[in-house]
Structure 1
Amino acid sequence: MRGNGLKRVVIVGSGIVGTSTAYALAKRGVDVRVFDRKEEGRATDAAAGIIAPWMSLRRNKPWYRLARLGAAYYPKLVDELHEHGEVDVGFAQNGAIKLHDDDRRSEKTFARAEERLAEAPEMGTLRRLTVEEVTERFPALAPNEYHGVEVTGGGRVDGHELLRSLARVSKSFGVRFEEENVVLRNNEGAIEVLVQGEVVPYDELVIATGAWAKETFATIGIDFPVEGQKAQIIHLKEHEPHLYPVLMPPGNHYIAPLDDRIVVGATHEDDREYDMRVTAGGVREVLQKALDVAPGLSDCEVMDIKVGYRPHTPNKATVFGRVEPYEHIYTANGLGASGLTVGPFVGEQLAKCIVGEPLDVPAEDYAIEQMFKMH
């Protein structure tokens, strides 16, 4: 620790978790250095995040708590970034609609969301939509096919833009971002950080390397059970897409309008070696599912096709905190497809762990140790 009592924190990885943690620590006056080798395929750079966890039928309570608080954290975060001069941070609340081709399932989703409304006022207005109303809200949809449940507080985030805003404000607080490959070395139980052969001093170390964490931890003798899941995502050019709500069709695909495009995706490819190729099968899957739901998008120009890797832990658990038995090493991982929903909030919680502030969630529900028990 420096003479003025402030901690020196080194963060390895500048994706959504690493950069959010750097921002949260720098706000508290912590000296932060962030190293990243800029690996191609970071999930944050490829994805559009859907901020509407309240309509999920997943029964995993720790996941839902984290996703709910992650959604609630966004307006506060966006206000902070605006106060520091950021204009477009990539976040917009245009509403979100969960689509169902069966009215009974639509009713079930509505009932689940209604139960959650009291503890999640950030949902805004909740209502069921007729097939006609759904088509009116998103004219490219197949007509008279889908019932909908709408939350006006739902939204989307452009991961690339959010990351840039967080990094710029963090730099204004004194955070140093350096494009370097970090080597970790276990020196008789003390973990050293080496950059270009030189030891970098730190008081606390955060490993936020996402889908590459297994490789990072292996260098210090830890078998960290995280795997990358490949996602292929397509960006379509559309006139005034920012006027439309986010759509969540049946299944695990999405249609997310950004400021100048509509993002459709994504594949969920497990058990794949690191492979940044855009594949014919992946493109076919994404486009077929998107156009089955919204055939009016068929004339859109394909602007871009991106590939990213989501980090998944055993049992799809999201974990963060201190890495036992090391007193000064922290990590967060396993955010999966919810990375942009929960990433900024997880970064805030990880910062609180490091500086000794009380957390907003029960730490035991997200403890690193549970990963190893399931491995």
Structure 2
Amino acid sequence: MSTFSIIGGGIAGASIAYHLAKSNHNVTVYDRSDKGQATTASAGIICPWISQRRNKKWYRLVTEGARYYPDFIQELEMKTKQSTDYRRNGAICLFKDDHIQQLAFERISAKQEVSPEMGDVRKMSKAEVKEMHPHLTDYYPAVYVEGGGQISGKSLLNALKEAILFHGGKWINQDISPTSCDGKVIYTAGAWAGEYSSNPIVRHQRAELLHLKINGSTPAKQTPVVMGLGPMYIVETGSNQYAIGTTHEDTEDFSITPSLENQQYLHGEAERYFPDVVLDDQFMSVGLRPFTRDSLPYIGYSEDGVFVVNGLGSTGLTCGPVIGREVAAYLNGEETILNLKDYAY
């Protein structure tokens, strides 16, 4: 049994801690509860197969993450008796016209052979979109991906914390330096990593989501994730409640004060996708997403021997659980499914 100190209680740190504690190691998580943590602010969409990114190392990571999710959640919820609000409720991907829809359908469905977990992929007419999601506009054709889903970052972290404690681990809410920790140190400080080290270089984006409610309308049945035109998405967060996002702002600032300009922009986008209902803004959530080189997560040792995981970006909730599994296997001297050398650039 080894001793591990993990600094940072976002999805990466919590998942690594859980998988190490499950392997009977002595694990302590130190987290200072920074406001703006990306995990709790994220919309939590799990649907990597629709991406057009060409980085094969990134794509292997996120698709393995999606493949791992159902078993991971089942084990976690059974162990803790807590809900993570994970729903494999499908994804409606909207496109501006029939031609673009056809190209997208061919591109996405071609991935089914190597990713059967994505389930059924089919084109949807405008009428079929409206039938599946009554509040949504019927202006655009779509492609439906059955395996798409969503997770609540906050609920997932709560369950992981409970599971870490269940396996004898500790969770301490305090600031600490890697040089003050016992045992092997794993540094997962997200956007704040530069406070300790500049290797790897971590930058961050400020991302804002608008949470809103549909008033005066019959609640729709449980609805799929909606991937809109461009970098815009909508997720259901409750009965007739949705979150729409996101904005992207490269910044060196750590402020999480919502922007009125961004709220107005997102409200306008919501009216575009929900044109026939009355929308009532509830609140804005702000997250600071960490990125490393080429927007590819860094997983490996820094120059001073600290094991670093960072740069999960906008897909942290997709790949965080599987990173925990793979890092724990690596540190246990076991075979990994992913080649972690790909991420230790």
Q: Secondary structure at the match of 1:360?
A: coil
Within 5 Å, give how 1:1-375 maps onto structure 2: 6-143=1-138, 145-184=139-178, 192-193=179-180, 200-202=181-183, 204-217=184-197, 222-238=198-214, 240=219, 243-260=222-239, 261-296=241-276, 299-324=278-303, 326=305, 329-367=306-344, 370=345
Report the residue type matching 1:18 in the other structure.
G
8 Å Cα contact 2:200/2:302 also seen in 1: no
CA distance in 1, matches of 2:326, 2:302: 15
CA distance in 2, matches of 1:320, 1:280: 36
8 Å Cα contact 1:127/1:149 also seen in 2: yes
Q: Secondary structure at the match of 1:91?
A: coil
Report the residue type matching 1:235 in the other structure.
H
CA distance in 1, matches of 2:314, 2:103: 23
Alpha-carbon deviation of 1:83?
2.1
8 Å Cα contact 2:271/2:279 also seen in 1: no
Q: Secondary structure at the match of 2:204?
A: strand
8 Å Cα contact 1:214/1:225 also seen in 2: yes
Alpha-carbon deviation of 1:300?
3.2
| Superposition TM-score, scaled by structure 1 size | 0.87
Q: Secondary structure at the match of 2:177?
A: strand
CA distance in 1, matches of 2:141, 2:82: 35
8 Å Cα contact 2:80/2:159 also seen in 1: no
Q: Secondary structure at the match of 1:332?
A: strand
Alpha-carbon deviation of 1:357?
1.4
Report the residue type matching 2:132 in the other structure.
R
CA distance in 2, matches of 1:73, 1:252: 25
Alpha-carbon deviation of 1:284?
1.8
Structure 2 residue runs of 5 or longer lacking an equivalent are: none
Change (3 A) 1:68 1:242: farther
Report sequence identity in percent: 35
Structure 1 residue runs of 5 or longer lacking an equivalent are: 1-5, 185-191, 194-199, 371-375
CA distance in 1, matches of 2:300, 2:329: 10
CA distance in 2, matches of 1:162, 1:39: 17
Aligned residue pairs: how many? 341
- Describe the superposition over 1:69-110 as per-residue Cα deviations: whole angstroms up to 9, x where unpaired: 111111011110132142411210111011101222211221
Change (3 A) 1:245 1:330: same
Q: Secondary structure at the match of 1:270?
A: strand
Alpha-carbon deviation of 1:152?
1.2
Report the residue type matching 1:236 in the other structure.
L
CA distance in 2, matches of 1:206, 1:68: 24
CA distance in 1, matches of 2:204, 2:221: 31
| Superposition TM-score, scaled by structure 2 size | 0.94
CA distance in 2, matches of 1:230, 1:312: 11
Alpha-carbon deviation of 1:223?
4.2
Q: Secondary structure at the match of 2:151?
A: strand
* The 10-residue stretch of structure 1 (101-110 or 148-157) with the greater mean CA deviation from structure 2: 101-110
Q: Secondary structure at the match of 1:256?
A: strand
